[in-house]
Structure formats: structure tokens, C-alpha cells
Amino acid sequence: MPQPLLALPFLPAHAQSLRLRPGAAQALEGLPPLAELARGYHAAGPAWTVLCGDRVIACGGAVRFWPGVGECWCWAGQDVDLVPLAFARLARRVVESLAREHGFHRLQLHAREDDSRANRFAAHLGFTLEGRCPGFGPAQSGQATHNLYGRFRTWKE
């Protein structure tokens, strides 16, 4: 039986323990090394690490653009596949807490158009497809198209 999941504050060192899923690794192609990204994301806004027992299975958070607006990110490890339902439920609760605990009224994320799993995950997290972004991303070729998802809070929780 899998151990319960725990979300705790993200530390850049947590990212080094991840065995990234292929989709996560593909999304990071062309970006600085993971250790450098982890330090930048840690400084840019609230973030968390998900543990299953003592294993880091995912890291994620929101880069704060300006007060109330942020871009979500998630690095999923291969071990997420051992507890997909529990991870999806926990991730949704964490995203919902970003508005309450960190004052976000708008969150957004980009998912590669050809990554059906990432697009389903965005919808599960309560994001709405807002459009396509051809050429978005770090790839030198500029060929990747991403979908832009948004989550906008117009009510008080």
C-alpha cells in the first residue's frame, strides 16, 4: 500500500531528488539546469514539494508576476505514477490554497499542446483553456505550441 502524500515548503535541493517523467523533462529542454531553475523558482513565489514517504515525487508552485497574478509550474517525477489519484487530489487542494493563503486572484499555466496528460491535469486543477501559444517555450526551433490555461477568481472564498 502506498504511503500517504505530504506537501511541504519547497527547497531547491528537493528538485535534485526527482526522477522526472518524460513530459516534464521535455518541457524543461532548452532551459537552464534544474538546480538553477529550482533556485529561481524558489525565490519567485510560493512553492511546495510533494513527498510519498521519504521520496520526493513532485515539486511545484507559482511564480508571482505581480500582486495577485502568477504562473504555475510543476515538475512531476516518475513516482507520481504510483499514486496518480492521490497526487491529483493533493495538487488541486494546493492550487486552491494559492488564492486563500497567497492572495492570487489569477493563476495561469502553459502546457505543451502535444502533452495530453499535462492538458488533462490543467483541467483537473480547475484551469480553463484560454488559447494557443505557437512558438512559446525555450526550444530554439520555436516549433512547440503550448496551450494557455487560466484560473480567475472573481468571488471571495
Query: Domain with 28 in it: what CATH number?
Result: 3.40.630.30
Cβ atoms of 118 and 76 within 8 Å: the answer is: no
Tens-digit pLDDT string for the chain (157 aa): 468 899 999 999 999 999 988 877 877 888 889 999 999 999 999 999 999 999 999 999 999 999 999 999 999 999 999 999 999 999 999 999 888 899 999 999 999 898 899 999 999 999 999 999 988 877 655 678 899 999 987 544 4
Domain count along the chain: 1
Cβ atoms of 31 and 138 within 8 Å: the answer is: yes
Query: Does 72 map to a domain?
Result: yes
For position 22, what pLDDT does the model report?
Answer: 82
Q: Where is 6: in which H helix or E strand?
A: strand 5-9
Please state, in angstroms and rounded to a whole number, the distance separating the CA atoms of residues 99 and 10.
18
For position 139, what pLDDT does the model report?
Answer: 66
For position 155, what pLDDT does the model report?
Answer: 45
Cβ atoms of 67 and 12 within 8 Å: the answer is: no
Query: Does 157 map to a domain?
Result: no
User: CA 99, 8, 127: angle at the middle one, nearest 5?
Assistant: 35
For residue 22, the enclosing domain spans: 5-152
For position 90, what pLDDT does the model report?
Answer: 96
Cβ atoms of 42 and 136 within 8 Å: the answer is: no
Query: Does 69 map to a domain?
Result: yes
For position 113, what pLDDT does the model report?
Answer: 92
Query: Does 45 map to a domain?
Result: yes
Cβ atoms of 148 and 132 within 8 Å: the answer is: yes
- Predicted TM-score (pTM) of this structure: 0.89
For position 11, what pLDDT does the model report?
Answer: 96
Query: Does 51 map to a domain?
Result: yes
